[in-house]
Structure formats: C-alpha cells, structure tokens
Amino acid sequence: MIRLLISDDSAFMRIAIKKMVESDPEIEVVGEAKTGQMCVQMAEQLKPDVITMDVEMPVMDGLEATRQIMARCPCPIIMLSSLTERNSVTTIKALELGAVDFIAKKSSFVQLDIVKIGGELVDKLKYWAKKRSRLSLMQTRTVNFAPKVDTQLPVHLRRVDASAPPGLVVLGISTGGPATLPIMLKAMGRLSCPMVVAQHMPPMFTSGFASHLRAETGLEVVESKDGMELLPGMVVIAKGGTDVVIREPFPGKLMVYEKTDPEAAIHPNADVLFRSAAGVSCPVAAVIMTGMGSDGAKGGKDLVSRKAAHVFAQEPSTCIVDGMPASAIDAGIASAVLSPQDIGAKLARMAGQREPLNLKTPTLS
C-alpha cells in the first residue's frame, strides 16, 4: 500500500486529489496538510511513501516545506504547480532542493482536468513510491558525483580525446534535470559553439528555467524562439510543450525552429532534436542525461550512423532516474559514461572557450 500525504491550502484541491487516487486500491491517503508547516510535521509523524506539495501555501510555502522535509525525513515529493511564470520558477527551485517530480495544473478550478491529471498523478505516485528507498540512500541528494563506471570500459565505448571540436552540442534530459543540469553547465563553462537542450517540460516552465540557469551559471542561457540563430556560447533551452529542430540554411549558419512532432510521446523531444542535428554540416556532440523512458536513444543512433557523432551518457548511478542514459548505453551508442561534472569537463576540453566555473556540490543545508 502506498501511503500518500496531501499538502494544499485549498480544500477543493485536497478533495480533488483524493478523488483522483481513491479508485486505486494501492494508494491510501494518510494525511492532509493545509500549510507547509503542517506538512513538515505530518511528514515526520506519518512517514508517508510520497507527498504531493502545492507550491503556494500560507505560513510556510512549498519551497521551504520541501527544504525542511528533505533535510529531516527524506521522502519523494511531487510538486503541483499552476501554469504561471511565478509558480514555474518556484517549482524549479523545489526540484533543486529535493522534490523529485512535478505536475502542471491549470490555475482555474473550473479548468481542472481531473481525469488527465489523475492518471499522471497515479502513475507518478506508484513510480516514486518504489524509488523511496533509493532516495533515502541518496541522503537528500548530496551525492558524490564522481564517476562510478569501471575504468575498463566495454569495447563499444569509443575513445573521444582526439576528436574534432564540435560545432554544435545537443542534449536530452528529463526528470532530475533542474537539479542536475546546473552541475554539468558549471563544470562546462562557455563553449565555442552553441548548445541546444531538450528538457521535458510543459509550456510556461522553460522560460523560468532558462532564467534560473542563467543566474546560477553565468552562461548565456535563453529559451528558444522560432527562427532563432544559434551563436557560439549560447545554451538554448527548447520551449516547453513543443519540439525544436536545427536547420542550416547555408553553411555555418545554424537556426532553430519550433516544429512539434505529433508522433513524439513527450516534448520537447530529444529524438526529434538529435535527428535534426544529424543534418548539419559541422561535427556534433550529443549528451543524454537523467530521465524516465528512452528519449534520445533513437536520435542518438541517427547521429552515430550519419555523422559518427560522440554520445556522452550520464553515469546511471548519478541519475535521479536512469532510464534515458541507460537506454543509450544498452543500445551501444555511448562514447563515454560520465558523471555530470565529467560530462561538463569533457565538453570544455572539446569546445571550451574559457576555464570552467568553480563547482560546489549543492546541499540542502
């Protein structure tokens, strides 16, 4: 039985969440908190398997409640966030502090899609309840991100030290991205080429995410715009809820365009991005990091077969969720399996423009 603690200042939302999950015999609501402070107290007393956390609450908001819970009694926390710029920024901060996932909901109660959100919520509750023991071992994400992969790498992992500098870097990332991507970018520093990132996120979230990364890293991180030219040193976050493709209208000029693929299961989609990058004339490097599913593996195969591109996979033991990099490794396309810091350092050596930024592993203290 999955023990769920609901934290939301709205009585309507608490009733709605209970209605979403009550039909599933594997989930039991063990408590309801009206404030962040109540949620912290109940988390310590009830020891739930999963917590749903509202972003905005009185007395103590969801951000501070997440910080305290992850410091005192680590537990998977799923943020429920309205589709607003303000809430998106707070949600991203909560994910950095230890929340494992989020669900975007429309701000109006009238617009609340209980069937759609309910199915997503139940799936995530079951997934993260199974991962609770691993979360506790991670000690509130103060993880040693040193590479844990055997130095005697399998023969299919190609040497990349003597590679030609890439003219473009593409990166796919999903669950765990807001906590992990800043670590990699700080270790990387400014590149002599553009980077385009497909981070699975809904609309309204990627603009705040780009702003947050820009402030955290000092890099030129921007949200994509249709028809944007890609310039050296830019880190472009694909606009949420859609896909982006790279085009080269004439040699040396790279452009990014929004083009949602109706067959893609999730957006922004790494496979779509990677496949489009296989058509440019310059060398390309690809990175596949933490996330559920296998997005990036098919597009990575295209990059390897068409351009002999290097694909760097995040070491699974350092991932919040290892599905995406593990799929790339299992497919035999990984050039190297590295920690987030070492991925950044590798890119800095291949295409760096200056010394990497000083990196301090974040804690929740």
Q: Which two tokens stand for residue 182?
A: 């800043």
Beta-carbon contacts of residue 344 (< 8 Å; ≥ 6 apart)? 183, 184, 185, 186, 187, 188, 189, 356
Does the active-site annotation cover 295?
yes
**What value, to the nearest 5°, has the Cα angle with vertex 240 and ends 239 and 241?**
120
Determine the 3-state secondary structure of 196 from DSSP: strand
DSSP codes, 119-155: HHHHHHHHHHHHTHHHHHHTTTT----S--S-SS--T
Does the active-site annotation cover 212?
no
**What value, to the nearest 5°, has the Cα angle with vertex 344 and ends 338 and 348?**
125
* The one catalytic residue among 61, 88, 200, 294: 200
Torsion of CA 186, 135, 338, 294, to 10 degrees: -110
Q: Which two tokens stand for residue 50?
A: 């999963």
Does the active-site annotation cover 174?
yes
Q: Which amino acid is at 358?
A: N
Distance CA 173, CA 194 (A): 17
> Angle of helix 85-97 relative to helix 206-217, nearest 10 degrees?
50
* The one catalytic residue among 7, 81, 174, 294: 174
Beta-carbon contacts of residue 36 (< 8 Å; ≥ 6 apart)? 7, 53, 57, 59, 60, 61, 62, 64, 65
Q: Which amino acid is at 235?
A: V
Distance CA 51, CA 98 (A): 12
Q: Which two tokens stand for residue 148?
A: 């844990």
Element (H, E) at 352: none
- Identify the CA nearest to 181 among candidates 240, 235, 254, 124: 235
* The one catalytic residue among 9, 271, 295, 322: 295
Q: Are 260 and 276 in contact (CB under 8 A)?
A: no
Q: Which residues are catalytic?
A: 174, 200, 295
